[in-house]
Amino acid sequence: MFSQELLISTLVVVVSMYLYFRSGRSKHPASLPTNWPIFIFSSLVANLHNLHDYFSVLLAGLGHNFKAHGPPGTGMRFFVTCDPANVRHIFTTNYNNFPKGAEFASIFDIMGGSLFTSDGEACERQHAKIRSLLSSPLFVGSVAARCRDKVEKGLLPFLTTMASSGTQFDVQELMVRCMFDLTSAMVFGVDPGLLSPNMPPMDASDAMDTVMDVGFLRHAMPASCWKAMRWLNIGPERKLRAAQDLLRGFVAEMMMDRRTSNGGPVFNDEEQMGVEDILSAHLNNPYYADYDLLRGTLIGTMLAGRDTIGTTLPWFFYNLAQNPDTVTIIRKELSPIASRKTASGAASAMVIFEPDETKSMAYLRAALYETLRLYPPGPTERKTVAVDDIMPSGHEVHAGDTILISVYAMGRMEGLWGQDCLDYKPERWLSENGKELRYVPSHKFLAFNSGPRTCPGKEIAVMQMKTIVSAVVWNFDMEVVEGQTIQPKMSSLLQMKNGLAVKLKRREI
């Protein structure tokens, strides 16, 4: 059955793509395809390597919304949107009618049952729990202290060595290493030390990348196709199976390390706000007595913590390299704190900014938000239609349809952000006096999700990014190595396909 469906689906895609290319449109990828759902789907397949930008082209030309149908017999029906009114309807007004759905949970089965894949009561229960934990003063203080410690003892020594030798390095790999360590410490209470002088292998982190890369491919094909490949253990599914096995082993190892490092089982009194890591809170909860659920939750939390910042910061440094005036303004905002710190210390000492010191810095946050607008770590959100509905845009959607919200395209629409929407301009986030953030509704800026699923770790993520960025920007000048091709890779994450090679110079202050 799988083989027959796979053959039929493949033949239909090939034929429709042939007709599409024969029309001559393939010579002009920026032009719009015939506005028939099956031909739009064919054009999406043809532009899969550059899907996020192609979404932007289509959505700009088709009024912020379009439909696409997969080959006959596959049941693939998509409604793609970046319309804020539709987003508000999907994420808030009629939230219960647009769950992530069973197919989404199947695509990311390694995180089965976790907040990342769940809907309904299970989602609400887990969201409330993690929100309570992430607002605990002890937990937040622990995360802040670990981040500051990692910057001082891990990040800055590495950057100093690179600056002294003039050696270029991949800042994307560096940020992923840093965030993998910080997220592991936040989740398990154990730092695996990926960001250390010997730079150990990144096997578990690479396995997480594989989960997101293959997840992207699963989204793009009929479920019968990827399930057939999984059953046969071929193609990307073979690589995914190995990655999943590695991640399960990683979780088991980290849980053992956590117990060993604490001299026994991990049980804290959460009601006394005595939990400093996520594993402790979950082990103390009967809801997570199912080990598969606990493991899926821990993997999902690792991905959420590592990916948001590890994916955003390379794009942030790339933007700064293209916009030196922004660097100057950030340093001006940091200058009063740095002056106090260096007044009684050695002039050559590295300056580290405490999380509390950067908390109120509006321009620094605006610069981060502007990066998230143009380069959201999760470029696409996926939902399923539970019951037939009519969107605010007037489009009808039917039970079983897949909704794709292009967060990437939303940040590139002139109608939402103005004619300068493609420009990196932190000032757009600031009030007229330049000292306060301007309010932008979450259904227009979806980097931290919206409605009941708004990211509970938003402020922790911003705190970590500010702590890392302030230390790097104040102490070093960063230059992007010329001749690179900077583009997103095919993944559920907006990672750079080839990384970002940079060189550093120590600032003379």
Query: pLDDT (tens digit, 9 = 90+) per residue, 268-291?
Result: 444 434 567 898 888 777 777 788
CA distance 296 to 5: 30
Least confident of 171-180, 341-350, 438-447: 341-350
Q: Is residue 79 one of the residues assigned to a domain?
A: no
Is 182 among the domain residues? yes
Give the CATH number for residue 245.
Answer: 1.10.630.10
Tell me the three state secondary structure of residue 441.
Answer: coil
Q: Residue 36 above 80 pLDDT? A: no
- Is 225 marked as a binding-site residue? no
For the chain, percent of residues with pLDDT exceeding 90: 70
Give me the pLDDT at residue 348, please: 56
Residue 319 placed within a domain:
yes
16 is a domain residue: no
The residue-averaged pLDDT of 106-135 equals 91
Q: Are the beta carbons of 377 and 311 closer than 8 angstroms?
A: yes
Model confidence at 463: pLDDT above 80:
yes
- Whole-angstrom distance, CA of residue 226 vs CA of residue 145: 43
pLDDT at 79 over 80: yes
**Which of the four pLDDT bands, split at 50, 70 and 90, describes residue 496?**
very high
Residue of 14, 202, 219 lying closest to 106 (CA atoms): 219
Q: Which residue has the tokens 């001006």?
A: 332
- Does residue 117 lie within any of the structural domains? yes
Query: What is the residue-averaged pLDDT of the chain?
Result: 87
Other CB atoms within 10 Å distance of the CB of residue 294: 20
Domains contained in the chain, number: 1
Parent domain of 173: 94-376+411-506
Q: Are strands 389-390 and 476-480 parallel, antiparallel or unpaired?
A: unpaired
Does some domain include residue 485?
yes
Contact 383/101 with Cβ under 8 angstroms?
yes
Q: 169-170 and 77-81: which strand pairing?
A: unpaired
Q: Which two tokens stand for residue 160?
A: 């100093």
Residue 406 lies in a domain: no
Q: Which of 188-192, 345-349, 458-462 has the highest mean pLDDT?
A: 458-462
Least confident of 62-71, 150-159, 227-236, 371-380: 62-71
Residue 419 belongs to some domain of the structure: yes
